[in-house]
Chain A
Amino acid sequence: MRKIFPAEELARDPRFIRQTNEQRLGDPRGARVAGGNSGDRLAKLTPELANGPDRARALMHGIFTGEIQALEGAGRTCWDFEVGEDVPLELKLDMARQCWDEARHCEISVALAEHMGTELGEFAENGLLYEAACNPDPVLRLTGVNRALEGLAIDVFNTMKEFGNLAGDPVLEFCEDWMLADEVTHVKMGSDWLRQLTANDKERLDKALEFQKVVDRLFSFNGFRGEDDDSPIQLTRRFRELAGFSDDEIDEIADMSREARVEAAG
């Protein structure tokens, strides 16, 4: 088995159809976000929206395929790097733990898809998350995945948890609450390893934080995740703080989203 497994070869059964980045970016109607699209039709995802339940359903499917890729990414980190030469054993143990967590998240997502009336593979999958997990530098990989993407997962799960709460859906709220707890742990893992592995290497730290910003920007989709009232996905300060983000870092993500919205509107 090779080291560094390419995103385009991720193994799926025939139910799943992958949308390439070229296809996604080439869609003149704008990026699809949370079951809607970005741009002028942004609205906070709540059950009050006429298409709220369908958007939640589509978002849940996006979470599901994201969980599969997160599982694959954590698994590859177990395989791609050598203990001692590249990473400490403890980092790999954390990644193996994350594999188990992501596998459970896949199971939860399958159950939630059934609950919400979604067929597996009903929506196109894009491989962006796994692509961030292909970085050959383990520090950059962990920063991109565990801090940027799992950080986004914190915001998404909290939004979905609130959706479940507002809709009176006890199943959705219960599941999202548990997944949210795991994601905070994963982000904290990323924060801890970033600090530890770059303790004496300022250059590597800067590179890793820059990579995190690139990933954050890639997933900002015209600023759909932010602190504005109509942001479909709400930035979650409290849980991000628990996961090791500083106030400055959270402010920066909020600013980035705002800038992306202005850019998209202009």
Chain B
Amino acid sequence: MTETKRPREPFAPWDRRALPGLFDVEETAKRVGHYKWVELKLFEALGGWVATVPELDIKMRLGTHCYHHAWHAELFDKRLPELREMKTDRLTVPPNDHMVAFIDAMTEPEGPTLTIEKLVGVYRVLIPHKIAAYTYHRNATSEITDMPTVRILDFILQDEFNDWREGEMLIQSMIESEEEIDRAMVHQTRLEKLMLAAGGIAGPGSIGDPYVDLPEEN
């Protein structure tokens, strides 16, 4: 036997990671597939919009953010086979038709005067919902068994927060009148309703369910 100091616990006192998580392999793969689908749709839209936006600084930001979300799609794509899904396309799907309707509505604005709508859809609706779903997944999954997903989500969330902040600042700098506030709010409301119907980027339960079922009163 090797001469050592006193034996140590396998988990250091500051390491409070717990074994159980809310998602099994199958559920994790399903969610990761939805995330990948959303990231794919988002980077495609950002890339497509570059040519339609006249504001030079926003044009360049969209080009930069386009790659961030493509990279997220790539990370999720590589994770899927590790979750026993060898045909990654099979799970690269929207959670439901409402989510497809949301993406269709988000990517609808094209004209050069619709930059506010384009930015609102991404930075005030989709990205906040992504941050919510990823944070929920990151906190609810097992930090031991599913650490590869946690690590991916940590990288991605860092991008999401930065991009959300930049996007929000672009929106604030674009809005210069009450009419433009109304435009932003109307579009946001329309998209939020579609997102509500979808139940979040991974469908109902995207961020869990915080409500308690009250027992029937006697």
Q: A residues touching B (Cβ–Cβ < 8 Å)?
A: 1-2, 5, 9-13, 68, 71-72, 74-80, 83-84, 89, 92-93, 95-97, 99-100, 102-104, 106-107, 120, 130
B107's nearest neighbour on chain A, judged by CB, is A1
Instruction: Kindly state the separation between the CA atoms of A83 and B89 in the bound complex, as whole angstroms.
Output: 10
Partner of B52, one of A1, A74, A99: A1
Residue of A nearest to B50 (CB): A75
Taken residue by residue from 116 to 139, chain B's Cβ proximity to chain A (1 for < 8 Å, 0 otherwise) reads as 000000000000000000000000
- 18 other A-B residue contacts (CB within 8 Å) besides A11-B51, A68-B56: A5-B48, A9-B112, A13-B55, A13-B56, A75-B51, A75-B66, A78-B66, A79-B44, A92-B44, A93-B73, A96-B67, A96-B70, A97-B70, A99-B67, A100-B64, A103-B59, A103-B61, A106-B56
CB contacts (< 8 Å) of B171 on chain A: these are none
- The A interface, classified by DSSP as helix, strand, loop or mixed, is helix
**B180 within 8 Å of A by Cβ?**
no
CB-contact partner of B47 in A13, A76, A83, A130, under 8 A: A76
Choice from A11, A84, A93, A97 contacting B53 with Cβ under 8 Å: A11
Task: Say yes or no: is B35 at the interface (Cβ < 8 Å to chain A).
Answer: no
Across-interface contacts of A93 in B (CB, < 8 A):
70-71, 73-74
Report the Cα distance A27→B90, complex, angstroms.
Answer: 55
> Interface centre among B47, B49, B59, by most A CB within 10 Å?
B47
| Smallest CB separation, A76 vs chain B (Å) | 6
- Inter-subunit contact A12/B107 (CB<8 Å): no
B53 contacts across to A, CB distance below 8 A:
11
Q: Are A75 and B46 in contact (CB under 8 A)?
A: yes
In the complex, A128 Cα to B110 Cα: how many Å? Answer: 22
The complex places the Cα of A79 from the Cα of B70 at a distance, in Å, of 12
15 contacting pairs across A/B (C-beta < 8 A) = A5-B52, A9-B112, A11-B54, A13-B56, A72-B59, A75-B46, A75-B48, A76-B47, A89-B73, A92-B44, A95-B47, A99-B47, A99-B66, A99-B67, A106-B59
